[in-house]
Structure 1
Amino acid sequence: MADKASMHQNAEALAIEALGFIAADPELLPRFLAITGIGADSIRRAAREPGFLAGVLQFILAHEPTLMRFCDAAGIPPAAVGQALRHLPLGDTNYESSI
C-alpha cells in the first residue's frame, strides 16, 4: 500500500490534471471561474492556496457528465476522483488528523 505522502502527491497530480482539463474546456472554465470567484488571471496564485486543488476535484465531482468526461480523458475510474479528494487539504474533514 502506498504511503500517505505518495497518496497525497498522486492526489495533487490528479487535481492538477483536472485543472488542465477544466482550463482547456471553453464551457467548463467560465463556470469554474464563476463558481469559485477566481479571475482567470489569478488561477496560478489561487492554486497555491490550501484547499484549491480539493476544490478542483469537488467541481469535477459535482456534475456527473463532467466527472465522466474527465475520467474518460484521464483513463481512470470515477471513484478515483473521490479517493484523491480525501488525500488533499480541505478535501476531507479528517485530513489534518490523518497525516
Structure 2
Amino acid sequence: MTPDLIALQALAWIMSDTPRAERFLAMTGHSADSLRSAIADPSNLAAVINFLENYEPDLIACAEHMGINPMDLVSARHILDGSKNEEGYIC
C-alpha cells in the first residue's frame, strides 16, 4: 500500500467518527471543503497521520481497523513529509 493510500484510508477512519473528525478539523484548521481541495498535497496527508500519532490510542485503533502495523502509518508519514524516502533512508 502506498503512503498516500495509507493516509487516505486513515483520513476516512478519522472522519467516520464525528467527535474525532471535529477534533481533527479543529486541530488542522481545515473545514471539510478546504480539506477536500487540499487532500492531494503530501503535507496534508502527512498531517492526517501526525494527528493520529499525537494520540496513540487512535493510532493503534486506526492501524487495527486498516489491518496494518501502527509503524506502517508512521513510516508513511515520514515518506509523505519528506523526512524519509520509500527505501527508509533519511533525506
Tell me if TM exceeds 0.5: yes
Note the residue ranges of structure 1 that are not aligned, 5 or more in a row. Answer: 1-8
- Percent of pairs with identical residues: 34
Q: Which runs of 4+ in 1 moved over 4 A?
A: none
- Pairs aligned (count): 87
Query: Could you tell me which of 2, 6, 11 is aligned with 1:14?
Result: 6
TM-score for both structures, normalised by structure 2: 0.84
- Rounded Cα–Cα distance in structure 1 between residues aligned with 2:58 and 2:76: 16
- The aligned runs of 1:13-92 (5 Å cut-off) are 13-88=5-80, 90-92=81-83
Bigger-Rg structure (1/2):
1
Superposition CA RMSD, Å: 1.8
Cα shift readout 1:28-80 (whole Å, capped 9, x = no counterpart): 10000000111122211121334000000101111011011101100111111
- Unpaired runs of 5+ residues, structure 2, are none
CA distance in 2 between partners of 1:67 and 1:55 (Å): 13
